[in-house]
Amino acid sequence: MPVIALVGNKGGAGKTTLSVNIAAGIARDRTTAVLDADPQGSSLQWRAFTVDENALKVYEANGDLSAQINELKARYECLIIDCPPSVHAPQTNTVLRLCDLALIPVQPSPVDLWATVHTERAIEEARQVNPNLKAMLILNQLEARTTLSKLVREAAEEIELPVAKTGIRRRAIYRASALEGKSVFDLGRRGADAVDELNNLLEEVMT
C-alpha cells in the first residue's frame, strides 16, 4: 500500500503527528517519505527541528502535486501525505484521487465526528476515479476510560467507513517528540507506550 494520506475536515485532529509517526514506524521496514501537502507546513516544521541527517525525508508539495506524487512513488516503497484540514482543498482532492488509503483522524468530540460526514462524501466522490481507494477512521487523542471516548467510538461505528480497532491516546510524549524533531520510535523507554499502540495501528493499516 504505497500511498497513504492523512485527511480530515477539521484542524487539530492530529494529522501531522500521525503522519510523522506512522511514517517513522513504516520506515523501519521499507523506504518511506512524507509529502507535506498542507500549506501550514507542519510536517516540514517538524523536520526542521531534527539534526539527524538520516532522519525521515519530508518534502514540500509543489505546484504539480499529481506529478510529484507519482515521482515520489517511484522513489519510495511507501509515501505518507499530510493533507490540509479540509476535504474541499484542491490538494486533498488531488491526493484522494491518487492514494491507496485515506486515514481520517477523529478526536473524541461530537463536532469532530460531525465533520467526518463531509470527509465520507469526499471519499465517495474520489472513488469515482479511484475505485480502489480504501479509508479508515482513527480515534485520536483519546482520554483513558472516559465516557465520551466510549460514546464517540460507538457513534463512529455508525458512519459508513471502517473504524480502526486501535485508538491513539492523548500522550504528552507525542508533543515532546515533535519538539525534539523525532518520532516516538526514537525515544526509547519514554516512548514505549506510544510505540505499542502505533505498532497495533500499523498492523491494522498495513494488512
Domain, as residue range, for 111: 3-202
DSSP 195: H
Query: What pLDDT score does 194 carry?
Result: 96
Query: What pLDDT score does 15 carry?
Result: 92
Query: Do the domain assignments include residue 98?
Result: yes
Which of residues 204 and 49 earns the better pLDDT score?
Answer: 204
Which of residues 108 and 177 earns the better pLDDT score?
Answer: 177
H/E element, 167: none
Q: Does pTM surpass 0.85?
A: yes
Query: Do the domain assignments include residue 175?
Result: yes
Query: Do the domain assignments include residue 194?
Result: yes
Query: Do the domain assignments include residue 144?
Result: yes
pLDDT digits (tens, 9 = 90+) for 59-73: 999 989 999 999 999
| Average pLDDT score over residue span 176-194 | 93
Query: Do the domain assignments include residue 14?
Result: yes
Query: Do the domain assignments include residue 207?
Result: no
| Average pLDDT score over residue span 17-36 | 96
* CATH code of the domain in which 71 resides: 3.40.50.300
Give me the number of domains the chain comprises: 1
Query: What pLDDT score does 147 carry?
Result: 59
Report CA 188 to chain centroid distance, whole Å: 22
pLDDT digits (tens, 9 = 90+) for 128-173: 999 999 999 999 988 876 655 566 666 666 677 888 999 999 999 9
Query: What pLDDT score does 1 carry?
Result: 58
- Would you mind telling me the total number of residues written for the chain in this entry? 207
- Which cell is 159 given? 458512519
Q: Which of 45-49, 117-121, 147-151 has the lowest mean pLDDT?
A: 147-151
Query: Helix 110-126 and helix 147-156: axis angle, to 10°?
Result: 20
**Residue 103 · residue 6 · CB < 8 Å:** yes
Show Cβ contacts of residue 55 under 8 Å, excluding neighbours closer than 6 positions: 47, 181, 182
Of 203, 184, 187, nearest in space to 195 by CA: 184
Query: What pLDDT score does 156 carry?
Result: 67
Distance CA 148, CA 38 (A): 29
Query: Do the domain assignments include residue 22?
Result: yes
Query: Do the domain assignments include residue 71?
Result: yes
